[in-house]
A and B are shown apart, each in its own frame.
Chain A
Amino acid sequence: NAGVTQTPKFQVLKTGQSMTLQCAQDMNHEYMSWYRQDPGMGLRLIHYSVGAGITDQGEVPNGYNVSRSTTEDFPLRLLSAAPSQTSVYFCASSSRGLSRHTEAFFGQGTRLTVV
């Protein structure tokens, strides 16, 4: 069972470069989200989507862009990488709909370093 798949697992970028972090899920979940994990700060929500064609900003959206053209995929784009974007990025999905009770499934993470 694939669940939530993130690629790549590791990436080093130079300041100013752009890249896309890929996220795909095979559980037909409507709700997908991106978080960044930094030491001492837990997970902070970057962007989320409640279905194909619908996205919204989370807590820390600046410098990131998302789109959701299919139910399965939710890529995260770094427009011009900065050292402050060095972090571990997690994609998550859930079948929540209007429910707050459902489990979120996480990918294994992408460790990004910006030099």
Chain B
Amino acid sequence: GDSVTQMEGPVTLSEEAFLTINCTYTATGYPSLFWYVQYPGEGLQLLLKATKADDKGSNKGFEATYRKETTSFHLEKGSVQVSDSAVYFCALDDYKLSFGAGTTVTVRA
């Protein structure tokens, strides 16, 4: 079945550091790929998405590119802020939404 594997955390960074969270997937079809973010005490909200190979999703300085050849959708941000501290989930949608385990990111001032 479909599955998502993302890099385990927790990840701790200093402000202005570069962030990358690896995500790879297994799917039988042609899924859409998503990154969701969960801030403390809240539900998940969409961060960015890509619907086909080579698409780049971007939002709030975060980017991820749908790489079909490597079945990957790594999340990157060039300069993180304290407000980026959250749990990040990679997900795929092939008529059912499947999530990775989540990566906790803490950014220190």
Contacts and interface: CB of A to CB of B under 8 A. Distances in A.
What is the interface of chain B mostly: helix, strand, loop, or mixed?
A: strand
Interface residues of A, number: 22
Contact of B51 (A35, A40, A101): A101
Contacts of A41: 101
A33 to B, nearest CB: 7
A106 B99 contact: no
A90 B102 contact: no
A104 B46 contact: yes
Interface residues of B, number: 24
A74 interface: no
A42 to B, nearest CB: 4
Contacts of B93: 100-101
Query: In the complex, which of the residues B31, B89, B96 has the most CB atoms of chain A within 10 Å of its own CB atom?
Result: B96
A62 to B, nearest CB: 17
A75 interface: no
Contacts of B41: 108
Given A33-B97, A101-B32, A101-B93, A106 B49 contact: no
A33 B99 CA distance: 13
Interface of A: 4, 33, 35, 40-45, 48, 58, 90, 92, 100-101, 103-109
29 contacts: A33-B97, A41-B101, A42-B4, A42-B89, A42-B101, A42-B102, A43-B44, A44-B99, A45-B96, A45-B98, A58-B96, A90-B43, A90-B44, A92-B44, A92-B97, A100-B31, A100-B93, A101-B32, A101-B49, A101-B51, A101-B93, A103-B34, A103-B49, A104-B44, A104-B46, A106-B43, A106-B45, A108-B42, A108-B43
